[in-house]
Amino acid sequence: MEFLEKLTQSFSPSGREEEICDIIFEEIKDYADSVYKDTLGNLIVRKEGNGKKIMFSAHTDEIGIMITYIDDKGFLRFSPIGWVDPFYALYQRVKFQSGITGVISYEEKTDAIKDIKMKNLFIDIGAKDKEEAQKMVSIGDTAQFVGDFVINGDRVMSKTLDNRAGVYVLTEAIKKIKSNNDLYFVFTSQEEVGLRGAKTSTFDIFPDFAIAVDVTDTGDTPECNYMAVSLGDGPCIKIKDQSVICDRELVQRIKSVATNNSIPYQLEVLEHGGTDAGAMHITRSGVKTGAISIPTRYIHSTCETCDINDIKNAILLVEKIADEI
């Protein structure tokens, strides 16, 4: 799990995926036939073969914030990068690549705290005034949320398990896979701002099958919305989310691979949210697309929580799909 910790704590808000790509490259370079980076910042790892062309993806970017304005007192106004809930953001720490760290607070005159809007929030980086703040940060600088990596028994809690859990699944699978299929592992950029890296990389590769690996919601916390997914019951085979209806044939094949290898799985219908699969399946004339999801509580908070066994079973499932599908 040390490598997963390293991945979660790296600095890679959307559009700034360089650091995590370097970390992934160092980890998998000895297991790949080729590795290259494309114009949009996707890292593409290939294991060549004569069989089917299969593309796996996991997005490397994370949600964050970007500075839009610095006021006279040195407080920063900001815009979200990806989907950031203002309620989740309140009193969280944000860290810039330089290490400068601020806290998100709010205009106290705002009444209904649950309905708080992004425009009522600001960041305090400890600057005494605008001049001092401008020496520390600039308009357009991005910051990530801060959240330690903690293991609680079988559970892991950290910032950015969305989607470093998926990145970890692919890097571990790359080390183990033995297959004659022609395999592409794409560590995609800019998923959180609109599935952008997945779009260009799928166009370029145009695989027979595409499979996104990402996190999904659960329905196993007190008084939560109905969802037939629980932590620890296995990785999910996606049926549908807001961005994709997965290819029925591919879903069936993935289920068979799981069953034949005695890998536990759950079926996922995600009512809110999407993944890279949304962009992948409507590339060119269409690509048969599916997704493997890791059940995750509190997605897009600084305390995302997964079960280690689901992550391990997802690695095994990807390893077997790559060879047997």
Rank residues 75 and 168 by Cβ distance to Co ion and give the closer one. Answer: 168
Rank residues 162 and 182 by Cβ distance to Co ion and give the closer one. Answer: 162
- Closest approach, Cβ 191 to Zn ion, in A, equals 6
- Closest approach, Cβ 224 to Co ion, in A, equals 18
162 belongs to the binding site for Co ion (CB under 5 A)? yes
- Closest approach, Cβ 87 to Co ion, in A, equals 16
Q: Among all chains, which residue has been given the structure tokens 């599935």? A: 195
Of the candidates 27, 172, 191, 319, the residue annotated as catalytic is: 191
Q: Give the residue closest to Zn ion by C-beta.
A: 163
Strands 121-124 and 101-106 turn out to be antiparallel
Q: Left, alpha or beta for 80 (phi > 0: left; psi -120 to 50: alpha)? A: beta
- Closest approach, Cβ 192 to Co ion, in A, equals 5
Nearest to 199 by CA among 36, 3, 57: 57
Q: Which one of the spans 123-131, 157-165, 235-243, 245-253 is the region binding Zn ion (CB under 5 A)?
A: 157-165
Backbone angles phi, psi at 76, to 5 degrees: -105, 135
- Closest approach, Cβ 300 to Co ion, in A, equals 6
Interacting partner of 172 out of Zn ion, Co ion, none (Cβ under 5 to 8 A depending on kind)? none
For the chain, percent helix, then strand, then coil, each to nearest 5?
Answer: 30, 30, 40
Rank residues 214 and 217 by Cβ distance to Zn ion and give the closer one. Answer: 214
Interacting partner of 302 out of Co ion, Zn ion, none (Cβ under 5 to 8 A depending on kind)? none
- Residue 191 appears among annotated catalytic residues: yes
Q: Tokens representing 282?
A: 């409507």
Contacts of 253 (CB under 8 A, 6+ apart): 321, 325
Q: Tokens representing 293?
A: 């999801």
Q: Which one of the spans 65-73, 104-112, 154-162, 258-266 is the region binding Zn ion (CB under 5 A)?
A: 154-162
Q: Tell me the C-alpha distance between 190 and 167, whole Å.
A: 14
Strands 288-295 and 150-152 turn out to be unpaired
Q: Which one of the spans 27-35, 41-49, 156-164, 227-235 is the region binding Co ion (CB under 5 A)?
A: 156-164
Interacting partner of 214 out of Co ion, Zn ion, none (Cβ under 5 to 8 A depending on kind)? Zn ion
Q: Give the residue closest to Co ion by C-beta.
A: 162
305 belongs to the binding site for Zn ion (CB under 5 A)? no
163 belongs to the binding site for Zn ion (CB under 5 A)? yes
When binding is defined by CB under 5 A, the residue of 17, 61, 162, 217 that contacts Zn ion is 162
217 belongs to the binding site for Zn ion (CB under 5 A)? no
Which 86-145 residues touch Zn ion, going by CB under 5 A?
none
Q: Which one of the spans 27-35, 179-187, 210-218, 248-256 is the region binding Zn ion (CB under 5 A)?
A: 210-218
Q: Are 190 and 272 in contact (CB under 8 A)?
A: no
- Closest approach, Cβ 312 to Zn ion, in A, equals 19
Nearest to 296 by CA among 122, 161, 202: 161
**Strands, E, within the chain: which ranges?**
34-37, 43-47, 53-59, 64-70, 76-81, 93-96, 101-106, 121-124, 142-145, 150-152, 155-158, 182-188, 209-216, 236-240, 266-269, 288-295, 304-307
Binding site for Zn ion (CB under 5 A): 162-163, 214
Binding site for Co ion (CB under 5 A): 162
Catalytic positions: 191
